[in-house]
Structure 1
């Protein structure tokens, strides 16, 4: 109810995008599309949790792969946005030379490659006369490897985002932009939301790997219950992205231009 209208509004209205570069507009649009795809898959999952999976094995695999692909697409796009802003502001790199289609194609290719395992392991399992769409692993080693890979990719993305924005904040604070509270709040909000909504999920994945390796049934049961909660938080991230990245971008651009009008490269944000 919140995320779908928000992302549709971003796609149709393109709020405050006039001062952005063509690359930034493409990344913002790609972020909104990936988040929208992710959120549109929610109704079948809600029905699956409340009742049973009635959509068949093929739909189970396709929807699972689609949601993972869109989630990875969103993560990689957020990372690309962060790195782009870092390069433009801190290193004065002209990102206009980068081909938009090549970059977007690479982001979705990486998202698809990271989602292939989901197509393989997702099956429809009957549990107490109820059918559930859930991952079925051939071995504990396969399960641990997939969880560890997902956690490593997630933490790598989080690290790049955190590094980019902390470096950007340091540049803004120490350079010609001085200490601007508006920029500080915006950067802090972006980092905190991304970390708070994604770190728990990846931490539980690491705990799941530990539980599998240690054969600890109690810890594994805790992880099973926690995955539902932390997975829901990751969907919340798709709801807040329009507010953080689309509707606040003009504020960041206007502050850069106001504080440092001689640095024209800041318009590439």
Structure 2
């Protein structure tokens, strides 16, 4: 993901210079915070958990996607400080990797949100069909889709600057930026928002001591996703509007094009901050047990923490209070299995 450039130089070099300094600071912050955190998640699951549950498998893939995106940060900082000298192949490969990893991250967050809702309203059905083999197949498909969605960005990468994008026509710019925004934000955000609203509504019906804390976590998921990604896709919208209005108003076209260019220089690095917070937002759901077993203990307990409210409600409705304890016991996987 990068900024777009379809016409001449911007009106104010000072504003762009400041924007690039802010971008370097945001990228440096994302790299410093995100790489160690995501490495810790991947290392813990791979080395200390022999057979992670499906939810944990989603989280480790989320951490891997975020880590892959963050490992490209030094190249983008280098590109911001001068002319790109690493060649077109390296540029297009990095553009494909960073876009693919970011699409994967967004899609996995969306899948986690949907899983959270199903775990509350259909816990036993989810336990029956959401197994490791099925999760792996879904993840393979998800990565293939993400890398396919990232492929068009390589066709528009400017090999002389790499951060900039060159479009062969206005139609290509409008099509690719709209595809990026719909597939990377509007669609996933709609699903996340609907799932989160349903989860919050469901939690209000459950007289559970931790429902307020869980509601705050669900809200944080939506807020963090919007804060990190909305500015970038608003910049995409400004670029698309500039192209559509070029014939009707030259002055409005210049203003929108300049706003999109400055906006992309700041908002694209801001999107990297999502790679720092994604794993933490879900870890907070089980933070009360973090003292037992560190990250491995937290991840082993995370699945029951998501399922227990829904399982408890279904058990009470179906079997009565005497059977609810047994149902909850069946819904708690063995951390070592």
- Normalized against structure 1, the TM-score is what? 0.88
Q: How far did residue 179 of structure 1 move? A: 7.5
**Correspondence for 1:244:** 281
Task: Please tell me whether residue 82 in structure 1 is matched to residue 113 in structure 2.
Answer: yes
Q: How far did residue 257 of structure 1 move? A: 3.6
Which structure's CA Rg is the greater one? Answer: 2
**Correspondence for 2:157:** 122
The 2-side partners of 1:180 and 1:115 are apart by 38
1:95 to 1:117, Cα distance in 2 relative to 1, 3 A: farther
* Equivalent position SS for 2:164: strand
Q: Is the 8 A contact 2:104 2:143 kept in 1?
A: yes
The 2-side partners of 1:95 and 1:23 are apart by 10
> Matched residue pairs, number?
261
**Correspondence for 2:144:** 109
Q: Is the 8 A contact 1:68 1:115 kept in 2?
A: yes
Alpha-carbon deviations, 1:82-127, whole Å to 9, x = none? Answer: 11111121233325524122100111011011111012111313xx
Alpha-carbon deviations, 1:45-71, whole Å to 9, x = none? Answer: 001001221211000000000000000
Cα RMSD between the aligned structures? 2.6
The 2-side partners of 1:50 and 1:244 are apart by 33
Bigger strand share: 1
- Normalized against structure 2, the TM-score is what? 0.71
Matches within 5 A, 1:59-98: 59-92=90-123, 93-98=125-130
* Equivalent position SS for 2:159: strand
Task: Please tell me whether residue 234 in structure 1 is matched to residue 271 in structure 2.
Answer: yes
Gaps of 5+ in 2: 1-31, 247-252, 289-301, 313-323
1:53 to 1:266, Cα distance in 2 relative to 1, 3 A: farther
Gaps of 5+ in 1: 126-130
The 2-side partners of 1:141 and 1:168 are apart by 40
Alpha-carbon deviations, 1:140-171, whole Å to 9, x = none? Answer: 11011111111111110011111111111110
Runs of 4+ in 1 over 6 A off after TM superposition: none
1:11 to 1:192, Cα distance in 2 relative to 1, 3 A: same
**Correspondence for 1:172:** 203
